[in-house]
Structure 1
C-alpha cells in the first residue's frame, strides 16, 4: 500500500481537520438551501401576481396617468390665477373652463355633422346622376362602366345609404352607450386631477421629507423642471392649434366652404396630434371641398395647407415650443408611435411631453450622481499625501 506524501512539517495534509472543514463550508455555500429556494419561488410568484394585478387595473391606471398629466398641465394657470383670488376659486375656475371646452366643441361640430350627413344622403341620387352623365359623355369612362358597372355600383350604394337611415336608432344607442362610458372616465379623471392639484404640494413635501436634504433638493428641482416642461408644452400646443384653427377658418370662409367654423375646429383639434395630425385635418377638409367648388377650392386649399404646414413647422412651432421641449426628431417619432400604440390618440397626445419630462428626469439624475461622485472623491482625497517639487525625499506635504 502506497504511502501518502508527507507535508514539510511531517503532517498529512489530507487528514488536516481545518482544511476538511473549509472544504465543507465551500460546498455548503454553493449548494441551494431550502430558504433560498423558497425566497426565489416567492419572488417569482409575487412578480407574476403584481403583473397580473397591473393588467387587471390597466384601465384605472391609465386614468391615473392621464389625471396626473392634466394636473401638471393646469397647475400653471392655477398659480397665475392664485395671485388674484383664493386657490380654491382658481382651481374651480380653471376646471370649469376645462369642462366647458369639450361641450362647446360638441355644440359646434354635432349640428353641422348631422346636417351634412342628412344632405349627403338626400343628394346622393343627384350625385350619381351627374356621374352617369359624365360617364356617358366620355368614351373612355363609358367603356370602363360597361366593363365594371361603376354607375350601377354607385346607385346601389346610394340606395343602401338611404335605407340605412332605418338603423339610426340602433346606431345612436350604441353611440350613447359609448358616450356614457367616456363621460364616466372623463369625470373620474377630472376628480382625480382636482385632488392632485389641491393636495399635490403636500404629497410632494411629504415624499421629499423622507429623503436626505441633498436628495430632496435634487428631486424637488427635477420635479419643478419636469412640470414646467409639461405645462409649457401643453400651453404651446394649444396656442399653435388655435392659430391653425383661426387661419383655417379665415381661408375656408373666403372660399365659401360650408360649415367653416366646424371644419376649423377639426383642424385645430387634429393639429394637437403630433407628426400626422395636421396632414389628416387638411386631407379631411380637402374632401369637403370636392363637393363645394371642384377643382378650384380643392386646389387652393391644398396649396394653402402645404404652405401653412411649412410655416407652422419652421416658424410657429420653434418659437412657441423652443423653451418647452428639446427632443431629437427621432425621439419624437418613437415616443409618438409608442404612445399611440399604448393609449391611442390620447397616448399620442401625451407622448412628447412625457418624453420631455423623462429626458429632464434622467438628466437631473445624472447631474446629481456626478455631483455625489465628485463630493465622494473630494472626501477620499482629503488628507492624502501629495508629492510636491519642494518636498524632501522622504517627506510629504498634506493638504
Structure 2
C-alpha cells in the first residue's frame, strides 16, 4: 500500500468517526432520563423545570411557540397577532407614503414615461409588422411614431378649425338662450324683477373684479403648466421612440439587476403584464372609436354644431372608463340644448346613454375579454385616486396600471414554473 493510500484511509476513518460522534450527540439528549432530584439549600442540584414552577398557587401559563418570554405569554394571542399586523402595516404605509412623495416630486418625469408606455403598447404591433417586412428597427420605429404624430396633429387641426368656424353662431345662440332664461325668470313662477336681475349681474361683476388677482395668478400658473406640458411632450416622444426600439433590451437589463433566483419569475410576470397592457390599450382605442362614431352619427343627424369636435372629445374621454365618455357626452348634450332646444338635447342624451350601455355590456366584455377584466369598484376607486394624485393624467393612467398590477401579482403568486427564456444559456454539468 502506498503512502498516499494510507493517508487517505486515515482521513476517511477520521471523517466517519466524526459523523458517528455527531449523530450520537444528537440522539443522546432525546434518550437521557429526566432529572427528578429537587434542589435544596443543603444539597444543591439541578433547578426544577419551568413547567413545575407555580406562582401564587396557580398553574403556570403555557408558552406559545411565538413567545420569547413569560411577559409575552401573559398577553392574549389575538392581541399579539393584532400588534404584529399593526406595526407591519405601519411600516408598509410609511414606505408607500415615501414612494408617493417621491413620485409627486418627479411627476414631471413619471407622467410622461407612463404615457410613453401606453403609446408604446398601442404602437408596438405596427412596429412588429414593419420588422416582419424587413424594415430596420430604427426606421420602423421612426415611421410608426411620425405616422401616429401626424394623425394626432391632423385630428387636432380639424377640431380647431371646426371650433373657429362654429363659435360665432354658437355665441349668438347662447345669447338668445340667456335672454330666454331672463324672460322665464320674469314671467315664470319666480317673478324676478329687472332690478333684481341687474343687482345679481352687478354682484357677479363685483366678484370678478375682486378676484382678478386670483385669475392673474391662475394665468401665471397656466403659463408654468404650459412649459411643463411642452417639456413632457418632448420626453414622451423620446421615451416612446426608445421604448419601441429598445424595449426588450431595457427590460432584460432591469431583470438582470435582480437576484438570480427571482429573474425568471419576474421576467415571466413582466411579459404577461406587458401583454395585458397592450390588449387593454388596443381594446380601449377600439371601444373609444365605436363610442365616438355612435354618438357622432346622432350629432350629424340632428345637425348639432361641432359634431366632429364633439365626437373627438367623446373619443378622448372614452380612455377614462365609465366616467370619461359620460362626461364628454354631457358636453354634447349641453351644446345640443343651447343650439336646438330641449327635445334634441333629450334625444342626444338618450343616444349617449344607449351607447354607454352597449359599451359596458357588449363591447368591453367581448373585446377585452377575461384577461383584462377588472371589477367596476376597482375602476372607480382607481380613477378617484388617480384624479387626486395626478389630475386628468392620473385618471387616464390609473385603470391600465391596475390591470397591469393585477396580471403581474397573479403571475408572481402562481406556483407554476415559468417557461425558460429564449435567450437563457443552460450549462450542463460534465460527467466525473
TM-score by length of 1: 0.69
Alignment match, 1:317: 364
- Structure richer in helix, relative to its length: 1
Give the structure 2 partner of residue 186 of structure 1. Answer: 233
Residues 327 and 116 (structure 1), Cα distance of their counterparts in 2 relative to 1, 3 Å cut = same
Shift of 1:331: 2.0
User: Which residue in 1 is equivalent to 2:315?
Assistant: 268
Q: Deviations over 1:81-127 (max 9, x none)?
A: 32122221221122113323432332133233345544455566544
Residue 290 (structure 2) aligned to one of 243, 253, 268: 243
| In 1, Cα distance between equivalents of 2:192 and 2:156 | 42
Look up the match of 2:28.
Answer: none
Equivalent pair of 2:174/2:338 in contact (CA under 8 Å): no
Deviation at 1:228? Answer: 0.9
- Secondary structure of 2:315's match? helix
Distance 1:182-1:131 versus aligned 2 partners, 3 A rule: same
Residues 302, 155 of structure 1: CA spacing in aligned structure 2 closer, same or farther, 3 A cutoff? Answer: farther
Contact 1:274-1:348 within 8 A present in 2 as well: no
Q: Deviations over 1:113-149 (max 9, x none)?
A: 345544455566544444455556x4x44x5213983
The answer to whether the 8 Å contact 1:222/1:364 transfers is yes
SS in 1 for 2:338: coil
| Offset from partner CA, 1:129-187 (integer Å, 9 cap, x none) | 44455556x4x44x5213983477469979x99xxxxxxx9999986664343122111
In 2, Cα distance between equivalents of 1:315 and 1:286: 24
**Which consecutive residues of structure 2, in runs of 5 or more, have no partner in the other structure?**
1-39, 47-94, 209-215, 419-432
Give the one of 327, 339, 361 matched to 2:374: 327
Name 2:159's counterpart in structure 1: 109
Tell me: CA distance 1:364–1:117, structure 2 relative to 1, closer, same or farther (3 Å).
Answer: same
- Structure 2 distance, partners of 1:171, 1:339, is 23
SS at match of 2:193: helix
CA distance in 2, matches of 1:174, 1:353: 29
Q: Which moved more, 1:92-101 or 1:169-178?
A: 169-178
* Matched position secondary structure for 1:292: helix
Does the 8 Å CA contact 1:66/1:189 hold for their aligned counterparts?
yes
- Report Cα offsets for 1:38-67 as digits up to 9, x if no partner: xxxxxxxxx99x867665434323333333
Distance 1:150 1:248 in 2: 37
From the superposition, tell whether residues 5 and 148 of structure 1 become closer, same or farther in structure 2 (CA, over 3 Å). Answer: farther
Maintained 8 Å contact 1:267/1:281: yes
* Structure 1 segment 1-399 matched on structure 2, within 5 A: 5-8=42-45, 56-84=105-133, 85-121=135-171, 126-134=176-184, 138=187, 140-141=188-189, 143-146=190-193, 149-150=196-197, 153=200, 178-209=225-256, 215-368=262-415
Q: How many residues align structurally?
A: 327
Mapped partners of 1:93, 1:124: distance in 2:
44
> SS where residue 144 of structure 1 aligns?
coil
Q: CA RMSD in A?
A: 4.0
Work out whether residues 144 and 150 of structure 1, in 8 Å CA contact, stay in contact via their aligned partners in 2.
no
Unaligned runs of 5+ in 1: 10-46, 162-168, 373-399
**Structure 1 range deviating more: 53-62 or 276-285:** 53-62
The separation in 2 between residues aligned to 1:62 and 1:178, in whole angstroms, is 14
Whole-angstrom distance in 1 between the partners of 2:301 and 2:356:
19
Q: Distance in 1 between matches of 2:221 and 2:388?
A: 25
Q: CA deviation at 1:356?
A: 1.4
Cα displacement (A) at 1:256: 0.7
TM-score (norm 2): 0.64
Tell whether the 8 Å contact from 1:128 to 1:155 is kept in structure 2 after alignment.
no
Q: Do the aligned residues in 2 keep the contact of 1:73 with 1:227 (CA within 8 Å)?
A: no
